A and B are shown apart, each in its own frame.
Chain A
Amino acid sequence: MKKRASKIIAMIMAASMLAGCGAGASGDSGKSEDGKVTIEFMHDEAEEDRMAVYDEIIKDFMAENPDIEVKQTAISEDGFEDKVKTLISAGEMPAIVAGSTSLMQLLDGEEMINTKANKEVVEERGRDDFYEQVLSLLNAQDGEGMIGVPISTWVNGIWYRKDLFAEKGLNPPETWEDILTAAKTFHDPDNKMYGIMFGTEEGAIAQNNFELFAGSNGAQLFDEEGNVQFTSPEMKETMEFYKELYQYSLPGSNGTTQIRDAMVGGNTAMCVYSSYILAPLYNAEMGEKIGYCVPENTQKSVYSSPSIYTISNTISDEETEAAKKFISYMLTDEVNIKVLHIAPGGPQPVMKSVAENPEYRDADVLQVYGEEIDKIADALNYINVFGTQDGITDSHIGAISNSMIISKAINQILVQDQDMDEMMQIAQEDMEKEISR
């Protein structure tokens, strides 16, 4: 009797344990018992105030669409892409993932995206209203669909102190020559003043800052056959220029914190940064003194990274339709402006109608910068990023960007003072290896 009882106890305990494990493994997307379609929406804006805005948007959407339930999952930006990759490899990709182009390119390479559904959402909103250069970054490898739907985009460029440039009688830093002259003029490290600040750390910022200058010199990462050409004359010329500029910068591995702090603290008159610098400069009451330039050597060029929503191809048809409805809702002027106003100035509109909408322009931050905001909007016409040429994106660029090969080379050449030709050759070979994997 005692033996039998102990067996039963053990079996109940084991069964309850396994039941617990099973419950945790079930997915969040699907049709619930009350007939509602539930979709998971994963993004990287985990700050409390930002999540509150998304909560409100989702609540309004669900009120308009009572048969759909949207579950918001916010992951902090630092661990976001790793978390997405982990979920994917566990077969639990959410219905909608918001992220960068490099992440979506990777997901597209893994055939995890419903490229057709994304394209349908864009076409329903009207292709003509989107900035063409933004859409050109989002073509899928199949040549037909899209890797995601753009909601906003940040753009980098050269931010400079108009007041200090005027004092010294310098031209705005547009051409390489003007940029170098200004950097030399302002560089005074004894008084903690540096000619220019830009990304040199082994991280994404170093690569996208370099792309700004490489693009303005007409350098492309791939040739027409898809071969890497990191050692091309245009690329080397850009690196030479970059090396020269670095002499007038704060030594060391500089990232977003160092660049932003130097600009806000008045330790530099010029920096390369994304549009997310507008808010900190506005908060430091420097907005009126700031100018924006698109650099130009052989052509004008900026780097831009759209925030994209993509629909998973691992969900049911009903969930796909619900996901399309939700993204279309996010593209309506009113809702899109709400998203853009979470951090005014940082994310730029991807639709011309929103950029011209007085309601969008109404934010205090944008008012202070005046005509510079028009220049930023205009910069979207000069987007030029590694891996995308004539609207065709090379399938390996996501893996190359994620592996940080280019930023490592930049850091080695500038900060570690390694031989430029040797480091560029190593980076070239590493990228070739990455492609052949």
Chain B
Amino acid sequence: MKRWKKKSPLTMKKKESILGFLLILPVILLIAFVVLYPIIYNVKISFFDVALNPNKPDIFIGWENYIDLLTDKEFYKVLVVTILFVAATVILSTALGLGVALLFNRKFRFRGAARALVMLSFVTPAVSLVYVWKYMFNGLYGIVNYALVDVLHILETAPAWFDNIVFAFISVVIFDTWRLYPYAFMTILAALQTIDTSLYEAAKIDGAGAWARFRYVTLPEIMPTIATIATLRMIWNFYKFDEIYLLTQQLPVIGVYLYKTSFASNDFGMAAAITVILFVIVMSLVFLLRKVVFKKNET
């Protein structure tokens, strides 16, 4: 018998690998079912004119949805507004979270209570917060207009805050930053507490001041955390819908554009094409961001 034909018995290691694979197989199937299938289905329907009635046939239209989308000026306007919104909210909420985390990373009285208070805007349901904000800016009895018009006389009449695209953009960015910075705060604070204090002691001995200690000790240590927060927040905010749609109808971002396309116009094929294009854009940005941040951090 030739040696190469002989069936070698499975080693213990191989057997364990197979057992491990079989045990995680249900999870793989589950992920394939709930993640991969919708993605593939979404790509498929982006090439169809989809009928609402499942008993009616979907009509294959090839690249038509993609061509319509990429030749629509409105789509580019929406894309630019969304990128500006994402950039502003990611930078501001991460920076604010970092600042507050640095302040809270020291001992003081009622630290626990103060930390809990900071989390309030994050744990309160978005819908409740949106309504509170809308009441604050209400033209008839809102506290903001009352203060600016009736008390301080800074403005003659109450502006329609959420109707002007610039005001609407600023209001939504402020709201989103305020609502979501506690997430950055919480995560960065956890990272700050893992930094070895001997690093600061060594830096002090070397004559490093407060800024130098932050620049050369703190920042490199927490940079992977910041990159993770920024990446996740970027993905979440790119598709942000609820808060923006509830606050104003005047800020054309991708989430709202998608909603209007899929549900108001019932054009599910076009909506699928939008998500495919966005998937490509967002994934490219994520890879770029991670590459830049981690490369910089390694050096």
User: What residues make up the interface of A, taking CB atoms closer than 8 Å to B?
Assistant: 2-3, 6-7, 9-10, 13-14, 17-18, 21, 81-82, 85, 88-91, 106, 110-112, 189, 192, 201-203, 250-253, 258, 261-262, 265, 267, 314, 399, 402-404, 411, 415-416, 434, 437
Contact = CB atoms under 8 A, between A and B. Distances in A.
Contact of B266 (A18, A111, A402): A402
Contacts of B51: 110
Contacts of A434: 265
23 contacts: A3-B18, A6-B18, A10-B22, A14-B29, A17-B26, A21-B33, A88-B54, A89-B50, A89-B268, A90-B54, A110-B52, A110-B56, A192-B140, A251-B139, A251-B157, A252-B161, A258-B138, A258-B139, A261-B138, A402-B264, A403-B265, A415-B160, A434-B265
A250 B163 contact: no
A253 B163 contact: yes
A111 B56 contact: yes
Given A9-B22, A17-B26, A110-B56, A85 B263 contact: yes
B266 A106 contact: yes
Contacts of B140: 192, 250, 258, 261-262, 265, 267
Interface in B251-299: 260, 263-268
Interface in B42-100: 50-56
Given A21-B33, A402-B265, A403-B265, A6 B52 contact: no
A89 B51 CA distance: 8
B99 to A, nearest CB: 34
Given A3-B15, A258-B140, A403-B265, A416 B163 contact: yes
Contacts of A17: 26, 29-30
B155 interface: no
A434 B266 CA distance: 11
B249 interface: yes
A110 B23 CA distance: 45
B141 interface: yes
Contacts of B263: 81-82, 85
Nearest to B18: A3
B117 interface: no
User: Would you call the interface of chain A mostly helix, strand, loop, or mixed?
Assistant: helix
Contacts of B183: none
Contacts of A81: 263
B26 A14 contact: yes
Nearest to B127: A78
Contacts of B55: 91, 111, 314
Contacts of B266: 85, 106, 399, 402
A201 B249 contact: yes
B19 interface: yes
A21 B139 CA distance: 50
A10 B23 contact: yes
Contacts of B141: 261, 265
A147 to B, nearest CB: 15
Contacts of A201: 249
For the complex of A and B, list the 3 residue pairs with the smallest distance between their C-beta atoms, beginning with the closest.
A252-B160, A10-B22, A13-B26
A313 B52 CA distance: 14
Given A9-B22, A14-B25, A250 B54 contact: no
Given A17-B30, A202-B249, A91 B163 contact: no
